[in-house]
Amino acid sequence: MPMARQFSQAEHVQVPQQADGKPAVHPACASLPARQCHHALVNKAENDRLARCEASIKRRFDEIVPVLKEVAALGASRDFTEQANRLAEQHLGHPFPEAVLERSWIHGVDVPTLYSSSVFSALTAGVEQFSQRIHQELADGQSLDALLVDCGFHAVNVSACADGRLKGLFPYILRLPASDLLRRSAFAGTLFDVEDDILDWQAAELRRFREGYPSTSDSGTRYLKVAVYHGSSLDPTHQGCAAHQSNEKVAMEAALERLQQFRQGIENAFCCGASTDILLIGLDTDTDAIRIHVPDSRGDLSLFRFVDNAELYKKTLGMNADQARLTIYEAIENVSDVGGWGQGVGKPHDGMRRLMANLLINNLSQIEYVAENYGGWYPDKGHGERFISIGDGFQELQVRNLAYFARLDTVEEGAADLDVGVKIFRHLNVEQGLPIPMAIHYSYDANVPGHRERIIIKLQRVAAAIRARYSDLLSAGMLYLHGSIQNQKLGSPLEEVPLP
């Protein structure tokens, strides 16, 4: 898998072909990959930091296979264990499990077990490395909290597709740091759980009522529910959302329908008028450019009324920062006046306009990030996940294509998401002779007595159900599970849970 490249290397990037065979033209910077664009609103220092972060976390995973090839080639040499461990320590940063190496003289090197244990070690090391960063982000997050409240939102709940290409949604694509007011979840096809979100809304409202946090219950702030769907500009009919057969219109409609059900559900049950806002965002997984569907004054959305950030990048390139910012605000204003299919009633409220402008500006940096490190388009336009993440997911490891994420509490409920992930990994790993590493991870609330113990039981129950569901893979030695829990306070250490 290619590593994040520096610009000098990106000059040699081949222009990808569109589905019709013609060379692609980058939607934001037409001179790519020959010549870079530099936008006045891009945060260059943050882009450099994120590139180092992506490269270091992916390197941990991507060196596993080359190291294992060398280990396998050592064969039955006399100091096999020492040599294998020297390679592992040197390239992976940890030794292999002693017992596995010692068995090697009988049936040869047990590559699947070494592979899985290395993936899980990379995972643990990555979480450790980045929990430090989370502490920093939480401090920074206070400025995000302030911005959200200032824009009139007391909670923001974002659901995206579970596709690994959206794994970097917060730190990379939208540039939103970890924050107490920000909730996130991922479901195949962005088909989020409406009932769960209504419960989350109730908890947020109760907290305002009881604690006045982050705003008092009589202030006019709102709960914002965001859904993120995705498509592919290079190959829209093959590399879009698998859960919707790569049909972007179907993906949009499905996400919008859930948003409307959520909003309607709350209005029906609590007759609180328009106390929730909804927002729909589309992502091009080839360039990481977003489009935002702009609500009207009643909070209603249209599939046909949106601001395309690749176009905005192109339009505002060459302007100074103030002009560019103004043009972005104008674009949001102007789109509210469109007629025809996208026609709505008036403009969204001021806070919503400010939030959208912030997201668009943040995403300009990401468009340039992909341009600078990859020449404009990601080379791994399809799936390239390293492991399957099950349960609550790892807050620390948010990098594109690192994991396929299935958020689930029981295997029965999450079977559809899980099956999609296993199907992807049968192709990615099993066909190559490598097993599927699955990391089951749940968080608990250390404030609630007994929660930790109950979560461990739940995790073990989920593990047993997964083993039963994929018994063919298990008996073929092609499925490895890893269990871990974490206190829900962001940045808490990972605790490994033995799976019987």
The residues that touch Zn ion, with contacts defined as CB under 5 A, are 161, 163, 241
- Output 90-99 pairs: Cβ under 8 A, ≥24 positions apart: 91/63, 91/66, 91/67, 92/60, 92/63, 92/64, 92/67, 92/118, 92/121, 92/122, 93/60, 93/121, 93/125, 94/118, 94/121, 94/125, 96/71
Q: Smallest gap, in angstroms, from Cβ of residue 230 to Zn ion? A: 6
Helix or strand (DSSP H, E) at 240? none
Q: Could you tell me whether strands 276-284 and 222-231 are parallel, antiparallel, or unpaired per DSSP bridges?
A: parallel
- Considering the complex, state which of residue 201 and residue 387 has its C-beta at the smaller distance from Zn ion: 387
Q: Which of 292, 287, 271, 28 is nearest to 158 (CA)?
A: 292
Residue 163 designated active-site: yes
Number of C-beta neighbours around residue 43 at 10 A: 17
Q: Name 361's Cβ contacts closer than 8 Å, sequence gap at least 6.
A: 41, 325, 328
Q: Smallest gap, in angstroms, from Cβ of residue 412 to Zn ion? A: 22
Catalytically annotated residue among 110, 145, 163, 308: 163
- Considering the complex, state which of residue 100 and residue 416 has its C-beta at the smaller distance from Zn ion: 416
> Are the C-beta atoms of residues 391 and 407 closer than 8 Å to each other?
yes
> Are the C-beta atoms of residues 64 and 118 closer than 8 Å to each other?
yes
Tokens of 96: 């292999």
- Considering the complex, state which of residue 354 and residue 426 has its C-beta at the smaller distance from Zn ion: 426
CA terminus-to-terminus distance, the chain: 34
> Which residue's entry shows tokens 């923001």?
156
- Considering the complex, state which of residue 314 and residue 383 has its C-beta at the smaller distance from Zn ion: 383
Tokens of 339: 């007629």
Residues with active-site annotation:
163
